[in-house]
Structure 1
Amino acid sequence: MSTLRFTALDGIRGVLAVMVMLSHMFGSLMGWPLVRPFSGAYLCVVYFFMMSGFVLTHAHSGGNFIKYLLTRLARLWPLHVISTTLMVLVYLYNKRHGGYVSSPDIFMISTYIKNILFLHGVTSYSFQLINEPSWSISIEFWASLLIPLIFTRLSLSIKIIIAAMSFIVLYLKNKSGIPPTFSTAALSMLIGSICYQLTKNNMAITFIREKYSLIFITFCGIICLTGIYALNKSRLDFFLLIAFIPLLFTDFLPEGSYITKILSSSFFSFLGYISFPLYLLHESIIVSGFLSVLPQNYLSLILASSSAILIAFLYARFVDDYLYRYLKQRIASLFK
């Protein structure tokens, strides 16, 4: 597997994770009205899927499938288990002190097991999610297995045909917008995989590096940000999915392009660095009651957001850096 990083995509991932956090915090503060800041942050998850398809197609260059599977587990499962366990502990504290508890099912062993086994979204039955943002992690894990099993084995033209047909079917079947399902994740990852394969085409790269490409990608970024901030579920979701495609090529813009320099800066690199723990751990801050600590809503929002970012950094720096490196070394040793 290649170790090359796409630094601009890392920056984009960090921005999207922050927007998901803010959407949930504004929703909690305001009582979850349809019209609120970052009401369209559900689109961020679709964008995460697309970026995963792009990056994982790059990373998997004909390697061993079992090694790929174990590496994906090492990336996703530890934090998923830790964040789920943390949520149970927060809910236990809340229950004993009269705080918020989403459902009594939270405390059932069977519910905990179903949550940590990546069963949400890929089985015929539903169950209570302990950590709400984790719904996408289960779907992402299973959909990502399609990359080495199917996507990397297909020609570019076949992948484009399948993606176009799948997009049309999804659009016709879902009048209320993009559904949070396995099929959405699979299509999004397929689109990401197609985009990565296009970077291997000299004509495509030449086109991306044309002077007007920077303007076009910037325009698409503004459209996506506007949708994330203000959109509610509708068929416009599908337009926003298409609008994100050019952003996948940001790292291939001419060297020194302002958008690449900004997204690769230390600030946005930091956001990318903490994006995964921020996405899965911020819900524990919300449920714990940090948003009601101070009487002023904006001060509570700042306190809660800062706490979530701090906890995400501490996890990334002192747990994930060491744990993921150790697990990858152990996996690599199995295939020597």
Structure 2
Amino acid sequence: MIISKTGRVAFLDGIRGLLAATVAINHIIGSLYGWGFRPFNGAYLAVNYFFILSGFVLSLTYRSEIPWIKYICLRLFRLWPLHFITTLGMFLIYAYNKGHGRYVPDFNIFDLKIFLLNVGFMHGILPSNFPLFNDPSWSISIEFWLSIMLIPVLIRFNTVGKFILFFTSYMYFLIFNAGGVGNIDHYFGLLSGISGISLGAFMYDVRNRGFSLYSVMKPSHANYMIYSAFIFVLVGIYSQDHNRLDFLYIVAFIPLMLIEDSDLYPNLLSRLLSSAPLQWMGYISFSLYLIHSSVIVSGISSPHGHFLSLVIEMTAAIFLSTVTCELFEQPSYRFLKARLNLGRIR
């Protein structure tokens, strides 16, 4: 695997950056053109891909010798500060909008209980859901709880056990959820996280055991499989529409976890995903994922048409995400992590 200068798996960061961008573009287009079928309609698949990536990366970085309490703090420090500040930002924007006759959601934004549930990572965990200030944050809540409860257990499973958990959870999802993986009603969001993280952990085991597509087929055929899977995933993100076909797009993501690139097995997709622009997008992806909604509801737009508004809002989201990542997300995580004396852990 190609490791970036920051010690991360480079091509996975590139994938994460692309996925975060598709989610932001999808939501901005929906806010401008309407929430019916639209370009990047299947960007909800990206959330499931995020879970898979998290399962893989956390399996790579988790250290069993870390005391569990310290590990909980580590995950909390990574996810909660940005989650809190973006949720607070959404509240302040809504409060301003309410006083100026602009868009506010159809719930009481001043309900303290709802706010505390939002910032407390409770969405998807409680028996019933509640209104969200920042819609994308539901998956961050689920990732937090699964990262501290499921990952320490998963690393003790053998490869077959991880596959069984992935397979049974996805089959349950497939049979009982005709709305596809985008349906997060009741416990389906949590189940989506369990299945995605267990798949990611399984794929980490597969790679860690030395499996390579290039060892079971010709290198050119392996590359064609990976390129085809990537194109298929992009088609799903662009046009999928909440049905059971979602599960085929989840399976199509698996070859992307087996990307290799070397002088012996050159792979153009790996080099694209590891390029500086996509590494930068991967670097700001968490901020972009949580900040773009605030740009949408802030009313930043152009009087000269929706397309120009789309360009302005996406540019603003990327700019604000870069600033937030550099000045808050990463510094706060480094500072808090240093208090645990875990500087070598991501």
Fold-level similarity (TM above 0.5): yes
Give the TM-score taking structure 2 as reference length.
0.91
Is 1:138 the equivalent of 2:141?
yes
Is 1:44 the equivalent of 2:46?
yes
What's 1:58 paired with? 60
What's 1:248 paired with? 257
Alignment of 1:82-161 (within 5 A): 82-161=85-164
What's 1:278 paired with? 288
Q: Distance in 2 between the 1:298 and 1:207 partners?
A: 47
What fraction of aligned residue pairs are identical, expressed as a percent? 38
Q: Which amino acid aligns with 2:65?
A: G
- SS of 1:40's equivalent in the other structure is helix
Cα contact 2:55–2:151 (8 A) shared by 1: no
Q: Which amino acid aligns with 2:215?
A: F
> CA, structure 1 residues 210+56, in 2 after alignment: closer, same or farther (shift >3 Å)?
farther
Q: Which amino acid aligns with 2:41?
A: S
Q: Which amino acid aligns with 1:227?
A: G
Give the TM-score taking structure 1 as reference length.
0.94
- SS of 1:86's equivalent in the other structure is helix
> CA, structure 1 residues 139+263, in 2 after alignment: closer, same or farther (shift >3 Å)?
same
Q: Which amino acid aligns with 1:57?
A: S
Cα contact 1:278–1:312 (8 A) shared by 2: yes
- Over aligned residues, Cα RMSD in angstroms? 1.8
Q: Distance in 2 between the 1:322 and 1:202 partners?
A: 35
> CA, structure 1 residues 149+202, in 2 after alignment: closer, same or farther (shift >3 Å)?
closer
- SS of 1:32's equivalent in the other structure is coil
- SS of 1:132's equivalent in the other structure is coil
What's 1:71 paired with? 74
Q: Distance in 2 between the 1:57 and 1:205 partners?
A: 21
What's 2:205 paired with? 197
Q: CA deviation at 1:147?
A: 4.1
Q: Distance in 1 between the 2:177 and 2:234 partners?
A: 22
Q: Distance in 2 between the 1:22 and 1:14 partners?
A: 12
Q: Distance in 2 between the 1:148 and 1:210 partners?
A: 34
> CA, structure 1 residues 258+333, in 2 after alignment: closer, same or farther (shift >3 Å)?
closer
Moved more, 308-317 or 179-188: 179-188
Q: CA deviation at 1:261?
A: 1.1
Gaps of 5+ in 2: none
Kindly provide the CA deviation profile for residues 59-80 of structure 1, in whole angstroms up to 9, marking residues without a partner as x: 0132322222111111100000
Moved over 6 A (4+): none
Q: Distance in 2 between the 1:148 and 1:234 partners?
A: 29
Cα contact 2:56–2:203 (8 A) shared by 1: yes
What's 2:327 paired with? 318
Q: Which amino acid aligns with 1:129?
A: L
Is 1:269 the equivalent of 2:279?
yes
Q: CA deviation at 1:258?
A: 1.2
Kindly provide the CA deviation profile for residues 299-321 of structure 1, in whole angstroms up to 9, marking residues without a partner as x: 11101100000000001111122
Cα contact 1:57–1:147 (8 A) shared by 2: no
Cα contact 2:122–2:141 (8 A) shared by 1: yes
Q: Distance in 1 between the 2:194 and 2:216 partners?
A: 25
Cα contact 1:214–1:253 (8 A) shared by 2: no
Q: Distance in 1 between the 2:342 and 2:272 partners?
A: 38
Higher percent of residues as helix: 1
Q: CA deviation at 1:205?
A: 6.4
Cα contact 1:208–1:249 (8 A) shared by 2: no
Q: Distance in 2 between the 1:333 and 1:46 partners?
A: 29
What's 1:30 paired with? 33
Cα contact 1:285–1:307 (8 A) shared by 2: yes
Q: Which amino acid aligns with 2:258?
A: F
Q: Distance in 1 between the 2:217 and 2:285 partners?
A: 28
Cα contact 1:209–1:254 (8 A) shared by 2: no
What's 1:12 paired with? 15
Cα contact 1:105–1:128 (8 A) shared by 2: no
Q: Distance in 1 between the 2:99 and 2:10 partners?
A: 44
Q: Distance in 2 between the 1:6 and 1:203 partners?
A: 17
Cα contact 2:213–2:222 (8 A) shared by 1: no
Cα contact 1:106–1:128 (8 A) shared by 2: no
Q: CA deviation at 1:125?
A: 2.4
- SS of 1:284's equivalent in the other structure is helix
Q: Distance in 1 between the 2:342 and 2:162 partners?
A: 34
Q: CA deviation at 1:206?
A: 4.9
Is 1:309 the equivalent of 2:311?
no
